[in-house]
């Protein structure tokens, strides 16, 4: 088996030995095998879990993962059901999973969504007498796969943190209420996406002024030893993922509204993302 992220081979051997002694291999179902879902499925398998997966359209089969023909088949024997299908499909996937997952299983929603949406999903799970976890993925998954830092909230958070931590997954519980983790992720997005917008604006103006390289170096020097790589990621990632990030920041703006907090910088960030979504070469395109 192969899993993304350095050092998972040694962790995998340890976990397989530990689980063999305990006679209890964790079963995780991953619904949604796009880029993030595939990386998590392969990562969990590489860490010693028994992983099933479902996706009606993904072309690539994750390594070490049993791919099933339906959600019902994938989740029927799972300890944890992981949803990575995008916020617009999260409710439908939850409903279908609730009908087939074991009574003691935990549903973990890793989709990026508004706190209010996570609370609604948790209420649906509670009505079906299933535990729910709002899981916030705190960095791009391609960097570290299953080793990407996570925040978890909801009535199933403590159980998920206890179990996944044994696999080596970096996850922290942040409260018993679904939506807490999503809210913290949105606050972080206000900072990170806002920082990216500042970098884009300064670099674009400097390019017009004929001093782009100098400006990029100045910004990088203020961001620590990894400044140059961070500036490059902010510029490239903002252009590449502008449409998705615009949607995320509109959710963040709405969340700030529920807090009665100013959202002036967030609004400007949305303007940048909207322009880049329409034309990735903006403002020079």
Note whether residue 3 is domain-resident. Answer: no
- State the catalytic residues: 185
What pLDDT is attached to residue 281? Answer: 87
Residue 60 φ/ψ, nearest 5 degrees: -95, 130
What pLDDT is attached to residue 24? Answer: 82
What pLDDT is attached to residue 58? Answer: 92
pLDDT score of 93 more than 90: yes
How large is the average pLDDT for residues 96-101? 98
Total structural domains in the chain? 2
In angstroms, rounded to a whole number, what is the distance separating the alpha carbons of residues 57 and 86? 14
Q: Are residues 48 and 159 in the same domain?
A: yes
Q: pLDDT digit string (tens) for 128-152?
A: 999 999 999 999 999 999 999 999 9
Angle at 256 (CA atoms; ends 130, 139), nearest 5 degrees = 65
How many CA within 13 A on the CB side of residue 120? 10
Q: pLDDT digit string (tens) for 18-50?
A: 443 344 899 999 999 999 999 999 999 999 999
Helix (H), strand (E) counts: the chain: 12, 8
What pLDDT is attached to residue 56? Answer: 95
Q: pLDDT digit string (tens) for 268-277?
A: 999 999 999 9
pTM: 0.87
From 127-131, 134-138, 156-160, 240-244, the region with the lowest mean pLDDT: 240-244
Note whether residue 209 is domain-resident. Answer: yes
What pLDDT is attached to residue 7? Answer: 46
Q: Are residues 204 and 119 in the same domain?
A: no
Q: Are residues 48 and 131 in the same domain?
A: yes
What pLDDT is attached to residue 16? Answer: 44
The domain of 200 spans 183-278
Q: Are residues 235 and 250 in the same domain?
A: yes
Q: Are residues 208 and 100 in the same domain?
A: no
Q: Are residues 190 and 218 in the same domain?
A: yes
Give residue 283's pLDDT band: very low, low, confident or very high (50, 70, 90): confident
Note whether residue 2 is domain-resident. Answer: no
Angle, nearest 10°, between helix axes 264-278 and 227-240? 60
Q: Are residues 12 and 141 in the same domain?
A: yes
In angstroms, rounded to a whole number, what is the distance separating the alpha carbons of residues 156 and 174? 12
Could you tell me the CATH number of the domain that includes residue 221? 1.10.1040.10
- The tokens 């299953």 sit on which residue? 146
């Amino acid at each position: 088996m192969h899993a993304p992220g350095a050092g998972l081979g040694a962790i995998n051997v340890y976990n397989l030995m530990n689980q063999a002694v305990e006679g209890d291999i964790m079963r995780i179902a991953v619904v949604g095998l796009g880029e993030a879902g595939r990386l998590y499925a392969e990562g969990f398998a590489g860490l010693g879990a028994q992983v099933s997966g479902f996706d009606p359209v993904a072309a690539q089969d994750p390594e070490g993962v049993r791919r099933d023909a339906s959600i019902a088949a994938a989740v029927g024997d799972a300890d944890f059901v992981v949803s990575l299908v995008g916020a617009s499909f999260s409710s439908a996937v939850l409903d279908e999973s609730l009908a087939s997952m074991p009574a003691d299983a935990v549903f973990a929603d890793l989709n990026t969504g508004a706190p209010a949406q996570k609370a609604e999903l948790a209420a649906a799970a509670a009505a079906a007498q299933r535990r729910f976890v709002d899981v916030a993925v705190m960095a791009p998954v391609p960097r570290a796969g299953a080793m990407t830092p996570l925040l978890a909230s909801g009535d199933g958070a403590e159980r998920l943190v206890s179990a996944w931590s044994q696999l080596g997954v970096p996850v922290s519980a942040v409260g018993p209420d679904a939506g807490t983790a999503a809210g913290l992720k949105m606050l972080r997005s206000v900072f990170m996406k806002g920082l990216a917008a500042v970098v884009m604006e300064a670099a674009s103006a400097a390019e017009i002024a004929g001093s782009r390289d100098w400006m990029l170096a100045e910004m990088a020097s203020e961001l620590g030893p990894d400044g140059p790589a961070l500036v490059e990621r902010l510029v490239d990632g903002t252009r590449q993922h502008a449409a998705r990030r615009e949607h995320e920041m509109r959710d963040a703006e709405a969340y700030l509204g529920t807090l009665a907090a100013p959202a002036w910088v967030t609004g400007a960030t949305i303007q940048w993302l909207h322009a880049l979504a329409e034309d990735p070469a903006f403002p020079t395109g």
